[in-house]
Structure 1
Amino acid sequence: MGVLLGDGLHTSRQGFGAMAVSGVYGETDAADALATLNHAVDIGVRLIDTANVYGDGQNETLISSLLRTRRDEVVLATKFGIPSEPDEYRARGDAAYVRSSLHESLSRLGTDVIDLYYYHRVDPRVPIEETVGALAELVEAGDIRHIGLSEVTASELRRAHAVHPIAAVQSEWSLWSRDVEASIVPTAASLGVGFVPYSPLGRGFFAGGASGAALPADDLRRKFPRFAPERLARNQALLAAVQSAASALSVQSERPVTPAQLALAWLYAKGRAFRLPVVPIPGTRRASRVDENAAAVCIELDAATVESLDALAARVEGDRSSDLNWISQGREAAE
């Protein structure tokens, strides 16, 4: 069973966030990464999500190896908007950059069309109408099939959607990152735009994969406030609560439910509550984790469990970004 996002884009109920196999959470072997990607497609995960900046383009090159034999099985999503040599604004959205970024990604990916092309971060110097207008021209030319936006505010989404239908919004959304529920989630629902939560497991936190002592020195998570050692130690109480809830559900349902599956099932429940198509894109380096995550689509939570999990976000210590204006949360507050 699949999901219909916005603008007629049909995909699997869960996707795969490929950033995880580009070394951001520690060293990754390319052959192992490709095996994990193939396994995800083997079990029916169709949406494969990458970006031109993941591994400085190496992630797209890796995915080209998957596409070489399985292009028709994949809904391919990639992104542009964060230049490799960013200036003080760190984002770029002018039409010339849109076009050049696309052709560079097409070359690395070894394909002639992108199924879902995201504007990764909003350039404050360029009206979003101009950027989406350039993307609309690429749709017309057949270079991309659908347009996506990442970390946009509700007003930015409305303005963009007035230029061309938007298929999906991608933002961080999880048990401990719920700021998007205030404005952008209900706006997407009202416009018929799908939602693709990235880091749905709290960058691995709710899968039990983050403790201060275990994070490698080059682990990307060290840059995020809630992963600072003292905060992370205190945030372990949230994981303990999810583990307890997963154990209780395991007994109730008479089958094992992991904390990661519970966190993903919560997102599916929130999607139903908002009447919004939701396709989380958990990332992992291991095929066994792909299987574990995919099983969450079959878990339906009762209202009491959802309500108890809802309360966790108020207890988290540390923001989800060191610069809130780099994500929708800060710009929403300023609007």
Structure 2
Amino acid sequence: MTTTKLGDTLAVSPLGFGCMALSHVYGGTVDDDAARTTLIETIDAGVTFLDTANVYGAPREGVSGPAGTNEELVGSILPGRRDQVQLATKFGITGDPTAGAATRGDAAYARQCCEESLRRLGTDVIDLYYLHRRDPQIPVEETVGAMAELVTAGKVRHLGLSEVTADELRAAHAVHPIAAVQSEWSIWSRDVEAQVVPAAAELGIGFVPYSPLGRGFLTGTLTRETVKSGMLAGRARFDDNFDANQAVVDVVRGVADELDATPAQVALAWLFAQGKALGLSVVPIPGTRRVERVRENLGSIDLSFTDDQLARLGSAADLVVGDRNINGDPRWISSGRE
């Protein structure tokens, strides 16, 4: 499989894997052995860019702060495979992100979280270390300066930022090169195209869209019952506006039928096409609990569209009812601070 570069030198598989899906987030139960099998078979299929965070997973009894259990899960499959993967993890959120969690970005906390993540992952170095959410009390330059010290110390190879504004991205990049921005970006979540995406393209920074399948909504497989548990319950797009937003799914499904593809493949291929049109590298990180879905998603890499199909997919955002924020604080996502 070919690779895609984030920034100047971080080469990753063109499609990544969002490991959060293997933890108790969207509802239901997750068997650790089955999750490990999915991870191993994902790597064997050619997806080598693994994305986790210290806050993902169910916390162990008596543990406060970031759970760390998703990192432990990822770390458990790395012996003998570490050189086959590019590891991305994050710090900065101090608790449950769906419950108005606080953030922390001081230098001491950056160092502490990095050491904890290295231990849980069972590795000496993190390939891409993100600030998961910026601390409004700490200048982003200060946090990135501390993260840059981790690069100098050989504990981190590349730096990334999640859900930053264009101004925050420029300020951070002036302190140390940023390889990637991670924010929600998809057919129905396009606010980042106003300022953040152009800034990333201008600076030569790659983009890693999380929830590229609209947290599963764009695949057409979610039901009202599906979203009643987990982090989607009560969220604007998935609750009161569930039926109205089926219009977006209909557009995606219509193009998929024309291409003999799946809605998931169309949604991911649209991001590749959009990245090419806007002049930056794009590496989506869909998550799943089934390796069959991973193989399906890989079919998006070579999918192409007619101009008419691109136009229809591009206009689908006009049909969306409800915003993308899953947190009650509008500042939780970049558009809430722009």
TM range (shorter): over 0.9
Matches within 5 A, 1:240-319: 240-250=250-260, 257-319=261-323
Question: Secondary structure of 2:317's match?
Answer: helix
CA-to-partner distance for each residue in 1:85-133, whole Å, 9 max, x for gaps?
A: 8998711100000000101111111111100000000111000110000
Equivalent residue letter for 1:323 = D
Question: Secondary structure of 2:253's match?
Answer: helix
Question: Secondary structure of 2:280's match?
Answer: coil
Which residue does 2:40 correspond to in 1?
38
The separation in 1 between residues aligned to 2:332 and 2:45, in whole angstroms, is 35
Which residue does 2:91 correspond to in 1?
80
Q: Which moved more, 1:142-151 or 1:37-46?
A: 37-46
Equivalent residue letter for 1:128 = V
Equivalent residue letter for 1:43 = A
1:325 to 327, 331, 338: 331
Q: Any conservation in 2 of the 1:89–1:123 contact (CA below 8 Å)?
A: no
Consecutive unaligned residues in structure 1, runs of 5 or more: 251-256
Equivalent residue letter for 2:253 = Q
Q: Any conservation in 1 of the 2:94–2:101 contact (CA below 8 Å)?
A: no
Q: Any conservation in 2 of the 1:118–1:147 contact (CA below 8 Å)?
A: yes
Q: 1:223 to 1:46 in 2, by over 3 A?
A: farther
Question: Secondary structure of 1:31's match?
Answer: helix
Matches within 5 A, 1:175-254: 175-217=187-229, 219-228=230-239, 230-250=240-260
Question: Secondary structure of 1:167's match?
Answer: strand
Q: Any conservation in 1 of the 2:94–2:102 contact (CA below 8 Å)?
A: yes
Equivalent residue letter for 1:61 = E
Cα offset, 1:317, TM superposition? 0.9
The separation in 2 between residues aligned to 1:176 and 1:194, in whole angstroms, is 20
The separation in 2 between residues aligned to 1:222 and 1:178, in whole angstroms, is 22
Equivalent residue letter for 2:95 = S
Question: Secondary structure of 1:124's match?
Answer: coil
Equivalent residue letter for 2:102 = R
Question: Secondary structure of 2:288's match?
Answer: coil
Cα offset, 1:302, TM superposition? 2.3
Which residue does 2:60 correspond to in 1?
none
The separation in 1 between residues aligned to 2:172 and 2:305, in whole angstroms, is 34
The separation in 2 between residues aligned to 1:140 and 1:244, in whole angstroms, is 50
The separation in 2 between residues aligned to 1:69 and 1:213, in whole angstroms, is 40
Which residue does 1:113 correspond to in 2?
125
Q: 1:85 to 1:62 in 2, by over 3 A?
A: closer
The separation in 2 between residues aligned to 1:160 and 1:106, in whole angstroms, is 23
Structure 1 or 2: more helix by fraction: 1
Cα offset, 1:303, TM superposition? 2.1
Which residue does 1:53 correspond to in 2?
55
The separation in 1 between residues aligned to 2:226 and 2:170, in whole angstroms, is 42
Q: 1:223 to 1:17 in 2, by over 3 A?
A: farther
Cα offset, 1:188, TM superposition? 0.2
The separation in 2 between residues aligned to 1:196 and 1:92, in whole angstroms, is 22
The separation in 2 between residues aligned to 1:117 and 1:3, in whole angstroms, is 18
Equivalent residue letter for 1:63 = V
Which residue does 1:253 correspond to in 2?
none
The separation in 2 between residues aligned to 1:85 and 1:261, in whole angstroms, is 30
The separation in 1 between residues aligned to 2:122 and 2:31, in whole angstroms, is 21
Q: Which moved more, 1:83-92 or 1:166-175?
A: 83-92
Aligned length: 324
Equivalent residue letter for 1:247 = D
CA-to-partner distance for each residue in 1:275-306, whole Å, 9 max, x for gaps?
A: 10000000000010000011100112222211
TM superposition outliers: structure 1 runs of 4+ over 3 Å: 84-89
Equivalent residue letter for 1:3 = T
Aligned-pair identity (%): 57
Cα offset, 1:68, TM superposition? 1.5
Cα offset, 1:3, TM superposition? 0.4
Q: TM-score, normalised by structure 2?
A: 0.93
Q: 1:88 to 1:54 in 2, by over 3 A?
A: closer
CA-to-partner distance for each residue in 1:221-262, whole Å, 9 max, x for gaps?
A: 11532111x201211121122111111122xxxxxx000000
Q: Any conservation in 2 of the 1:7–1:165 contact (CA below 8 Å)?
A: no
Q: TM-score, normalised by structure 1?
A: 0.94
Equivalent residue letter for 2:33 = A
Q: 1:99 to 1:125 in 2, by over 3 A?
A: same
The separation in 2 between residues aligned to 1:89 and 1:110, in whole angstroms, is 27
The separation in 1 between residues aligned to 2:119 and 2:221, in whole angstroms, is 34
The separation in 2 between residues aligned to 1:12 and 1:80, in whole angstroms, is 23
